[in-house]
Structure 1
Amino acid sequence: MPEQRDANTTFAQRVRLARDRAGLTRPVAAGLVGRSAEWVKGVETGAIGMPRLPMLIRLATIYECDLGDLTGDERISAATYTKATHTDLPSIKRALTTYRLTPADGEPESAEVLHARVRSAWKLWHGSGGHRSRVAALLPDLLADTQHSARVLDGVERRRALVAQAQAYHLTQLFLAFQPEPELIMLTGDRSMAAAQDADSPRAMAGAAWYMNHVYRDASEAADARVELAEQAASLLRQEDPEDLARWGLLQLAVALSFAKIGKAGLAWRYWDLAQDASRRLGNEYAHPWLIFGKGLVDAYALTIHLDLVQPGKAVEAAASLDLSAVPSATRRSFHMIEAARAYGMQDEGVAAVALLQKAHKTSPETVRFNMHTRMVLPELAKAGPRMVREDARELALALSIST
């Protein structure tokens, strides 16, 4: 029978009690859920809030308890734990799952035209305003046209068309992030890598490896697989070439994030240092036009590494010193502002957290709207945050259609 639930205990206390009853140490529990022992400690001390539903189910499974034994009387709100659905998701899904068994009528577009269209789409993605909606309007035709050209063209032109196709899938994967279609994210990641390999382009494979690394981390796949993929792709690049060096540095950053996710701080910072060195060699003003790799991005991801290593004090220090003006992407700046809000939230500094979420929303509204952390914390801040910002949190939640 389920244990009698004490409504006065916190989520953190209930999780620790469930682990104790299961007879598991923190390191063992961490290994079973694919996180670090520090992450488990963070959950049990309240430094990390209630995780998303898939992780709650995983914890309940390994602790052999009911989900309610962990959540107590706290109701799991659909508005909190489900992902907001973009209105253009059905058209993107149709574009990905429509199989053209015969070549389309008409002449294929040249690789030069395809690359120009892809560059325009990247500018929209990194620009201010409704970046998801703007890119979503382009993606179905862009996917269809890159597929047609890659199928009909020959030789060098075909390979260049495949490189454009890989980037079209990168954009599609980014659109699908935080959408309730995880299998489509895996599909786009796999297709982008297949196109890059078919193009026999080390640069395209490096870009695909960066985006596949995000897929693996979000799916809690084995860190060894993530690291191996990034290092294999990096080994194909020539560091004396600036374009290759940017991708090489980005893949060092991917490895750093993978190690941080599983609590291996030494390895995480070792690879972060390699990424930082690559950004310095490229120059402090450099930023890749669509991968956005540069010193600003490397510095911003130091904050994420501190968060994943459950180092809230260091994360706040990193957030306080972060200069996002060096990141030439409104989308990326907004994301890293949310990460900074996450750091202040871990330190119970709700005023700063709400202010940063407001700033992130002003910078890129759709980034905030479709971010899971934002959707999780705003209801709590609206109800139990510092009194002076509760109304601000409620207004932001209302603007994002999040129930409080």
Structure 2
Amino acid sequence: MPEQPSPAPTPETFAKRARRARDRAGLTRPVAGGLVGRSAEWVKGIENGTIGMPRLPMLIRLAAMYECDIADLTGDDRIAAASYTKSAHADLPAIKRALTTYQLTPTATEPEPATVLTARVRQAWRLWHGTGDHRSRVAALLPNLLTDTQHSARVLEGDERRRALVALGQTYHLAQLFLSFQPAPDLIMLTGDRSMTAAQDADSPRAIAGAAWYMNHVYRDANEAAEARVELAEQAAALLRQDDEEDLARWGLLQLAVALSFAKIGREGQAWRYWDRANDAARRLGPQYAHPWLIFGQGIVDAYALTMHNDLMQPGKALEVASALDLDAVPSATRRSFHLVETARAHGMQDEGVAAVALLQKAHGESPETVRYNMHTRMVLPELAKTGPRMVRADARNLAQQLGVAV
């Protein structure tokens, strides 16, 4: 009797691969869930197949947590290209051209004085922190502002050149913020590096401090080693005086940068030690103080405590902070919107979908483009639209559609 062929092996599911990866990493479901901002029940749902394969950003987080390749989780399952992409602003090509266009021949155009450039940059910051579509408004100014600040910094001399370089550094900060959470990681790193170079060429400790703050954001988003972020912030802080209001604000901001870096990697004691330093600086500046474009002050220090608790996987403590938070003390619509999203993140970590969706809607009303380009929002809305509480699924789906997120 001829031998019967062996049956084809049953393809292994994503659920089984996820369970095996967690077992190999030696993590319990509660711990694994906490590390990616989800509940133990969510991890269970992934592993028993009641929740499908998540989108790419969560796959990346799971692979990093389990110390495996994404392919170890996905196997032969294909990830559709449209399953997750960063949203690209319509003005991204214009900003890219402005950043990568070089004027190599002399121009007859007279350089703008540093005072004029400073006033234009100040106006751009007001637009960035204002209500409405702040990215779109700033994008309309950036190409010309980049061209003019670069030209003045190249042509002017002495103190005028140094002041123009400071304005140029801030212009790069604005470009970096515009590019954030868009598919342009090379440009984000480029603007960060150029802003630091301009600050050093200006020989301005204050400008160096501002550049270090924004470079810390680049490093955190790229998961660079915390030691490098901390060293940069501390070196920049050492250049500042604490008996000067402007210097003290930037010094406090750099303490906050270190606190956020330590919180992101779970080093709680050091995180709160540096937060205490930032808090002390804010108190010394007074309850009404807020830096005009860095927004450092008591309101921002209090609000970032919420983010730190989230990163430390302490959503209950994050919500205690949120309940006492006075967002009116944060004179920036973009920052208020961000902290509302962070409050939604804390509720989501506790499986409180109704509150999470309501806060995301409120954040969208405060600053639509902050929410549109927020990675957490774009990642969780499809899940809330499909598996969240029934009473808010339609709201989550509608908000996702407004943001251009596939559900």
Compute the TM-score of the two structures, normalised by the length of structure 1: 0.89
Alignment correspondent of 2:40:
45
Q: Secondary structure at the match of 2:115?
A: helix
- Deviation larger for 351-360 or 314-323: 314-323
Alignment correspondent of 1:218:
221
Q: Any idea what the Cα deviations from partners look like across 1:205-244, whole Å, max 9, x if unmatched?
A: 0000000000000001111000000000000000110100
Give the Cα separation in 1 of the matches to 2:38 and 2:350. 13
Matched, 1:398 2:401: yes
CA contact (8 A) 1:18 1:63 kept: no
Matched, 1:257 2:252: no
Identify the match of residue 386 of structure 1 among 385, 389, 400: 389
Query: After TM superposition, where is structure 1 displaced by more than 2 Å over at least 4 residues in a row?
Result: 2-7, 13-17, 24-27, 36-67, 75-81, 102-105
Q: Secondary structure at the match of 1:244?
A: helix
CA gap of 1:64–1:296, structure 2 versus 1, over 3 A, is closer
Identify the match of residue 12 of structure 2 among 5, 19, 29: 5
Alignment correspondent of 1:299:
302
Gaps of 5+ in 2: 1-8, 47-53
Deviation at 1:17, TM superposition (A): 2.5
CA contact (8 A) 1:128 1:363 kept: yes
Deviation at 1:310, TM superposition (A): 1.1
CA gap of 1:94–1:53, structure 2 versus 1, over 3 A, is farther
Residue 209 of structure 2 aligns with an amino acid whose one-letter code is A
Give the Cα separation in 2 of the matches to 1:113 and 1:16. 60
CA contact (8 A) 2:21 2:73 kept: no
Alignment correspondent of 1:208:
211
Residue 200 of structure 1 aligns with an amino acid whose one-letter code is D
Give the Cα separation in 1 of the matches to 2:126 and 2:37. 38
Deviation at 1:359, TM superposition (A): 0.3
Alignment correspondent of 1:32:
none
The structure number with the bigger radius of gyration is: 2
Matched, 1:273 2:272: no
Deviation at 1:66, TM superposition (A): 2.2
Identify the match of residue 68 of structure 2 among 59, 62, 67: 62
Alignment correspondent of 1:89:
92
Q: Percent identity?
A: 72
Identify the match of residue 178 of structure 2 among 175, 180, 190: 175
Alignment correspondent of 1:138:
141
CA contact (8 A) 1:19 1:63 kept: no
Give the Cα separation in 2 of the matches to 1:159 and 1:368. 36
Identify the match of residue 322 of structure 1 among 322, 325, 332: 325
CA contact (8 A) 1:16 1:44 kept: no
Q: Any idea what the Cα deviations from partners look like across 1:23-51, whole Å, max 9, x if unmatched?
A: x4569xxxxxxxx9996486683679964
Gaps of 5+ in 1: 28-35
Deviation at 1:316, TM superposition (A): 2.0
Deviation at 1:393, TM superposition (A): 1.0
Residue 262 of structure 2 aligns with an amino acid whose one-letter code is F
Deviation at 1:330, TM superposition (A): 0.3
Residue 152 of structure 1 aligns with an amino acid whose one-letter code is V
Deviation at 1:81, TM superposition (A): 2.5
Alignment correspondent of 2:201:
198
Identify the match of residue 106 of structure 2 among 103, 115, 132: 103
Residue 249 of structure 2 aligns with an amino acid whose one-letter code is A
Deviation at 1:313, TM superposition (A): 1.6
Matched, 1:358 2:361: yes
Deviation at 1:317, TM superposition (A): 1.8
CA gap of 1:80–1:121, structure 2 versus 1, over 3 A, is farther
Give the Cα separation in 1 of the matches to 2:135 and 2:229. 27
CA gap of 1:375–1:77, structure 2 versus 1, over 3 A, is farther
Give the Cα separation in 1 of the matches to 2:254 and 2:41. 33
CA contact (8 A) 1:79 1:402 kept: no
Residue 194 of structure 1 aligns with an amino acid whose one-letter code is T
Deviation at 1:325, TM superposition (A): 0.8
Give the Cα separation in 2 of the matches to 1:277 and 1:341. 28
CA gap of 1:64–1:159, structure 2 versus 1, over 3 A, is closer
Q: Secondary structure at the match of 2:199?
A: helix
Give the Cα separation in 2 of the matches to 1:233 and 1:168. 19
Give the Cα separation in 2 of the matches to 1:309 and 1:245. 27
Deviation at 1:346, TM superposition (A): 0.5
Instruction: Count residues with an aligned counterpart.
Output: 387
Alignment correspondent of 1:31:
none
Deviation at 1:68, TM superposition (A): 1.1
CA contact (8 A) 2:344 2:357 kept: yes
Residue 301 of structure 1 aligns with an amino acid whose one-letter code is Y
Q: Secondary structure at the match of 1:66?
A: helix
Residue 256 of structure 1 aligns with an amino acid whose one-letter code is A
Q: Any idea what the Cα deviations from partners look like across 1:68-89, whole Å, max 9, x if unmatched?
A: 15xx97x756555310110000
Give the Cα separation in 1 of the matches to 2:194 and 2:153. 13
CA contact (8 A) 1:15 1:44 kept: no
CA contact (8 A) 2:22 2:66 kept: no
CA contact (8 A) 1:227 1:258 kept: yes
Deviation at 1:314, TM superposition (A): 1.3
Give the Cα separation in 2 of the matches to 1:245 and 1:183. 32
RMSD over aligned Cα atoms = 2.6
Q: Secondary structure at the match of 2:150?
A: helix
CA gap of 1:66–1:389, structure 2 versus 1, over 3 A, is same
CA gap of 1:64–1:184, structure 2 versus 1, over 3 A, is closer
Compute the TM-score of the two structures, normalised by the length of structure 2: 0.89
Residue 81 of structure 1 aligns with an amino acid whose one-letter code is Y
Deviation at 1:319, TM superposition (A): 2.1
Deviation at 1:304, TM superposition (A): 0.6
Deviation at 1:398, TM superposition (A): 1.5
